[in-house]
A and B are shown apart, each in its own frame.
Chain A
Amino acid sequence: MGKRSGSKRKDKNKVILPPELPPEIDDDEVDLSDEDIAFYGTDSSNVAHFRHFDKKSIDRYVGRVAGRDEGEVERLYEERQKRKATESSGRPREDDDELEVDPVDALPTKTLQGELVYNRAKKARSEDNTGSVKTKAQENGADAKKIIKKDEPKGKSKNKKGDDNKVKNIQSQTEVPKGQLHSNVLEEVKEELSAEELFEKKKAQLAELGMAMLEDPESNIRSLNDMLSISNDKDQKVVKLGLMSLLAVFKDIIPSYRIRQLTEKELAVEVSKEVKKTRYYEYTLIRCYKAYLQKLVSLEKQPQFYTVAVRCMCALLDTAPHFNFRENLLASVVKNLSSSDDVARKMCCEAIRSLFINEGKHRGEATIEAVRLIADHVKLNDCQLHPDSIDVFLSLRFDEDIGKDETEEEKVKPKKNKRWQKSQEVPKQLPVNDKKKTRQELISKAREEVDADLRAVSFSLDPKERKRIQKETLSALFETYFRILKHSVTTSNSRTKVNNVSPSGLHPLLTPCLAGLGKFSHLIDVDFMGELISCLKKLSGYSDRQDEIPNDNALSVSERLQCCIVAFKVWRSNLEALNVDLQDFFVQLYNLILEYRPDRDHGEVLADALKTLLWEGKQQDMLRAAAFIKRLATFALSFGSAEAIAALVTLKHLLQKNSKCRNMLENDSGGGSLSCLVAKYNPEATDPYLSGALASVLWELSLLEKHYDISVSSMASNILSMANLNPTQNPVPILNVNPLEAYRDLSMERELLKPASKSLPLNLKKKRRGKEFVALSPDVLKKADCSVDKHELEEKLQSHFAVLRSISENERLRGELNHTLSSINMYKEYKKQQKKKNMKFKTGRKKVAKV
Chain B
Amino acid sequence: MAKKLGKKARKFARKNLQSAAKRNRKIRNQFNHRRGPRRGGSAGREDGDEDVPQQVHDSTMVTNDAAAATLIHGLEFPEDDAELDADLSDSDGYLSEDPGCPYYSDSEDEKAAKDCIMEDGLDRQNDDMNRDIKKQKKKLKKLLDKDPEFANFLEKWQSELESYRSKEDSDEDEMDSMDDDDSNDENSPNAKVLTSKTISEWCQLVSKDPKSPALRNLLNAFRDACRHGVHSHGPSMQRFQNARVFYQIITFVLSELDNVFRALLEIQDDANKGKIMNLRNSKKWQTVDPLIKSYLQNSLDLLSQLTDNKMLAFVLTRLRASMVLFSAYPSTSSRLVKILFRLWASGDQGLSLSAFLMIREVASLLPDCLDLCLTKSYNTYIASTKLVNDRNTKHIYFLTDCLVELYSLDVQKSYERAVTSVEQLNAILRQASKTKEKEDLRKIDNWQYINCVNLWVRFLCCHYKDYNLHPLFSEVLQVIRGVAHLFRGTRYLPLRLRLVQMLNELSTCSQMFYPIPSLLFDCLEFREVSQKEQTQRTKINFSSLLKVPKNLLKSRDFQEECVLSAIQVLSAHFAQWSYHVSFPEVATIPLFLLKRLHEQTTIESLHRPIKRLIDQVTENKGFIERKREVVSFSPNDKASVDSFLQEEKVSRNASFTRFYASVAENCQPKGRKTL
Which residues of A come within 8 Å of B, CB atoms? 549, 551, 594, 597-600, 633-641, 643-644, 665-667, 670-671, 683-684, 697-708, 717, 720-721, 723-724, 748-749, 751-753, 756-758, 760-769, 771, 773-777, 780-781, 783-785, 787-788, 792-794, 796-814, 816-817, 820-821, 823-824, 826-827, 830, 833
Contacts and interface: CB of A to CB of B under 8 A. Distances in A.
Contacts of B477: 708
A768 B136 contact: no
Contacts of B229: 804-805, 807-808
B145 to A, nearest CB: 12
Judged by DSSP, the binding face of A is helix
A816 to B, nearest CB: 6
A811 B15 contact: yes
Nearest to B245: A801
A665 B634 contact: yes
B514 A806 contact: no
Given A599-B522, A749-B433, A764-B415, A720 B311 contact: no
Contact of A760 (B350, B400, B472): B472
B122 A806 contact: yes
B423 A699 contact: no
Contact of B518 (A634, A640, A724): A640
A671 B629 contact: yes
A797 B232 contact: no
B353 A783 contact: yes
B549 to A, nearest CB: 21
A723 B636 contact: yes
A817 B588 CA distance: 85
A806 B311 contact: no
Given A764-B469, A808-B8, 5 more contacts: A683-B588, A753-B433, A762-B415, A787-B317, A809-B126
A798 B147 CA distance: 48
A640 B628 CA distance: 27
A748 B130 contact: no
Contacts of B133: 813, 816-817, 820
21 contacts: A599-B521, A635-B589, A701-B635, A706-B512, A707-B512, A707-B514, A707-B515, A760-B471, A769-B411, A775-B458, A781-B357, A783-B349, A793-B251, A798-B116, A800-B308, A801-B247, A803-B120, A804-B6, A806-B117, A810-B125, A811-B12
Contact of A788 (B247, B311, B522, B630): B311
For the complex, would chain B's binding face be called helix, strand, loop or mixed by DSSP majority? helix
Contacts of B157: 826
Contacts of B488: 599
Contacts of A821: 136
A443 B48 CA distance: 102
A820 B410 contact: no
B622 interface: no
For B364, B513, B521, B635, which residue has the most chain A Cβ atoms within 10 angstroms?
B635
A720 B126 contact: no
A9 B416 CA distance: 74
Contact of A775 (B9, B237, B408, B628): B408
Interface in B433-461: 433-434, 458
A766 B466 CA distance: 10
Given A721-B636, A761-B471, A800 B513 contact: no
Contacts of B139: 824
B232 A808 contact: yes
Interface of B: 6, 8-9, 12, 15-16, 116-118, 120, 122-123, 125-126, 129-130, 132-133, 136-137, 139-140, 143, 147, 150, 153-154, 157-158, 228-229, 232-233, 237, 240, 243-244, 246-247, 250-251, 306-308, 310-311, 313-314, 317, 349-350, 353-354, 357, 364, 398, 400-402, 404-405, 408-412, 415-416, 419, 423, 426-427, 429-430, 433-434, 458, 462-463, 466-469, 471-472, 474-475, 477-478, 481-482, 485, 488-489, 507, 510-515, 517-518, 521-522, 525-526, 577, 580-582, 584-586, 588-590, 592, 596, 600, 628-636, 638, 641, 675
A594 B635 contact: no
Contacts of A777: 675
Contact of A699 (B412, B482, B513, B585): B585
Nearest to A798: B243
Given A667-B632, A801-B243, A774 B408 contact: yes
A640 B467 contact: no
- Residue picked from A707, A774, A810, A812, most chain B C-beta under 10 Å: A774
A594 B592 contact: yes
A806 B120 CA distance: 9
B310 A637 contact: no
Nearest to B12: A807
A702 B636 CA distance: 6
Nearest to B629: A670
A598 B462 contact: no
A810 B125 CA distance: 8
Contact of A787 (B314, B458, B518): B314
Contact of A748 (B313, B481, B515, B585): B481
Contacts of B521: 597-600
Given A594-B589, A774-B404, A776-B405, A784 B117 contact: no
B140 A823 contact: yes
A773 to B, nearest CB: 6
Contacts of B411: 764, 767, 769
A645 to B, nearest CB: 12
A666 B405 contact: no
Nearest to A786: B350
B136 A817 contact: yes
A699 B582 contact: yes
Nearest to B462: A774
B228 A801 contact: yes
Nearest to A710: B474
B586 A752 contact: no
Nearest to B357: A784
Contacts of A697: 634-635
Contact of A700 (B12, B313, B585): B585
Contacts of B158: 823
Contacts of A551: 526
B350 A724 contact: no
Contacts of A784: 317, 350, 353-354, 357
A585 to B, nearest CB: 22
B405 A775 contact: yes
A638 B630 contact: no
A763 B468 CA distance: 7
Nearest to B599: A549
Contacts of A671: 629
A813 B130 contact: yes
A773 B416 CA distance: 21
Nearest to B350: A783
Nearest to B146: A827
Contacts of A706: 511-513
A246 to B, nearest CB: 40
Which residue of A597, A787, A802 has the most chain B CB atoms within 10 A of its CB atom? A802
Given A634-B588, A804-B229, A824 B136 contact: yes
B232 A723 contact: no
Contacts of A781: 353, 357
Contact of B118 (A765, A799, A813): A799
Contact of A807 (B9, B243, B314): B9
